[in-house]
Amino acid sequence: MDILEFPPHFPPTDKWKKFFIGVRWLGPDLSFFKTLKELQANRTAADMSQWGGGERQILAEKISQILHVQLGWRSALFIPQDIAMVAFHGPRFDFSDPDAAFDDIVEMLERDYSLSPPSSFWESMGDATLGQLVDGLLTLR
Cβ(68)–Cβ(75) under 8 Å? yes
| pLDDT 10s digits, 16-51 | 555 555 556 555 566 667 888 888 989 999 999 999
The pLDDT mean for the chain works out to 85
Cβ(103)–Cβ(97) under 8 Å? no
| pLDDT reported for residue 141 | 83
What are the DSSP calls for 45-88, one per residue? Answer: GGGGGGG-SHHHHHHHHHHHHHHHHHH--SSS---TTSBHHHHH
Largest CA distance in the chain: 48
Q: Identify the weakest region by mean pLDDT among 14-23, 84-93, 109-118, 130-139.
A: 14-23
Q: Is the pLDDT of residue 95 over 60?
A: no
Q: CA dist 27 to 31, 33, 67, 80, Å?
A: 11, 14, 27, 31
In whole angstroms, give the CA distance from residue 17 to residue 29.
10
| pLDDT reported for residue 13 | 65
